[in-house]
């Protein structure tokens, strides 16, 4: 099953810049100060504002590769559980630096940690880490196609296929002429058909998150394209 959402920054919520289309999930990107103890009330209020718009917050994501301290991690879990999020997304260079207590603390919670390997980091390290975990069911992988894409769709597909059973979130974006994130319908576009068909074959319950500056027209156009590809592939299966 494929679900579709968009990544937004908490700052945009505060500024009232959000205009999320119906039926879209939301991945909220947090700056470190947003989950400090003194900021929790305001952060929770802003997250509640999204929920009151009738929008499901699927995940909370951290902005950088710095692992939160124990108390900060507890704050993140508190925020995520209060809004019924499914994932906390951590971008880390080496998952072996994550204390084992992180996954153990999720026992009994309806929440998982989702690890995102940065650009050029060996994804095999993440796979070996996950398969060795005592509580593997609480930790999974997020995959940012913009960061991992090298211009070789075949290599990208091989890497995606190798993390079968470990994948939960795929971040999608195209690339503009200056190499920045852009809508998928921009000129430089990855082979979405092949990527989506491979995700379907993997039978993963994957959330596809559009990850570029919010533009409702481009977003809806991208969503229509992804939906059309997904429907066409499913009809052929």
Distances from the Cα of 217 to the Cαs of 205, 221, 230, in angstroms? 27, 6, 20
204 vs 214, higher pLDDT:
214
- Name the CA dihedral angle for 212, 218, 220, 223, rounded to a multiple of 10 degrees: -60
pLDDT tens for 102-158 read 767 777 778 888 999 988 888 889 888 888 887 778 888 999 998 888 777 888 888
Task: Give residue 39's pLDDT.
Answer: 93
Residue 211 and residue 171 in contact, taking contact as beta carbons nearer than 8 Å: yes
3-state SS, one letter per residue, for 178-208: CCCEECCCCCECCCHHHHHHHHHHCCCCEEE
Complete domains list, the chain, with CATH: 2-236 (3.20.20.150)
- Asked whether the whole model's pTM tops 0.85, one would answer yes
Report helix, strand or coil for 85. Answer: coil
pLDDT tens for 163-196 read 888 889 999 998 888 888 989 887 666 788 888 8
Average pLDDT over residues 14-43: 85
């Amino acid at each position: 099953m494929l679900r579709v959402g968009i990544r937004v920054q908490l700052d945009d919520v505060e500024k009232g810049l959000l205009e999320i289309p119906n039926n879209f999930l939301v991945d909220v990107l947090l700056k470190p100060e947003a989950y400090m103890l003194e900021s929790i009330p305001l952060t929770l209020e802003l997250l509640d504002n999204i929920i009151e718009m009738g929008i499901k917050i699927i995940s909370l994501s951290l902005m950088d590769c710095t692992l939160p301290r124990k108390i900060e991690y507890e704050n993140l879990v508190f925020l995520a559980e209060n809004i019924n999020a499914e994932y906390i997304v951590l971008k880390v260079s080496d998952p072996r630096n994550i204390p084992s207590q992180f996954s153990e603390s999720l026992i009994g919670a309806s929440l998982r940690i989702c690890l995102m390997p940065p650009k050029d980091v060996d994804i095999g390290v993440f796979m070996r880490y996950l398969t060795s975990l005592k509580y593997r069911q609480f930790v999974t992988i997020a995959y940012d196609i913009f960061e991992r894409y090298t211009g070789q769709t075949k290599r990208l597909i091989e890497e995606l296929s190798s993390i079968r059973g470990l994948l939960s979130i795929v971040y999608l974006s195209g690339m503009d002429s200056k190499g920045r994130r852009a809508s998928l319908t921009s000129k430089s576009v990855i082979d979405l058909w092949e990527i989506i068909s491979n995700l379907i074959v993997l039978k993963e319950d994957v959330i596809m998150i559009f990850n570029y500056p919010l533009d409702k027209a481009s977003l809806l156009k991208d969503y229509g394209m992804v939906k059309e590809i997904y429907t066409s592939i499913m009809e052929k299966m």
